[in-house]
């Protein structure tokens, strides 16, 4: 059974099937209920159709990590860093860089 939030988001999607915010919200909602396949579908649609929607890269990378697809996660983080830099969104860049470093095993601390 679908949640009320999911039903509303799907209704919004019918009204505007290319709204990046609705696509992002759907991907995030599906991810939160562990429907990895549908979450991935919407995140990939965002990456392909709205490559400047920078928040997508972080969450898609995390989803790839969750499913054990580390090379895909690293690639998505790198693409996200480029998109964030192009938008001059240094906060998003920093978050993506941190996620990349962690996924690549580069997040070490000095003893």
Tens of pLDDT, residues 52-106: 999 999 999 999 999 999 999 999 999 999 999 999 999 999 999 999 999 999 8
Confidence of residue 111 (pLDDT cuts 50, 70, 90): very low
**What is the CATH code for 4-103?**
1.25.40.10
**44 has a pLDDT exceeding 50:** yes
pLDDT of 4 reads: 87
Tokens 């919407």 label which residue? 42
Distance CA 21, CA 29 (A): 12
DSSP 69: -
pLDDT of 3 reads: 78
């Amino acid at each position: 059974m679908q949640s009320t939030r999911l039903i509303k988001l799907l209704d919004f999607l019918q009204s505007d099937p290319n709204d990046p915010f609705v696509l992002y919200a759907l991907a995030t909602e599906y991810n939160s209920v562990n429907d990895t396949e549908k979450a991935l579908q919407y995140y990939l649609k965002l990456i392909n159709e709205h490559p400047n929607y920078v928040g997508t890269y972080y969450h898609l990378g995390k989803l790839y990590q969750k499913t054990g697809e580390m090379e895909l996660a690293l690639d998505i983080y790198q693409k996200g860093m480029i998109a964030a830099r192009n938008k001059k969104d240094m906060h998003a860049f920093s978050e993506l860089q941190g996620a990349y470093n962690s996924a690549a095993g580069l997040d070490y601390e000095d003893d």
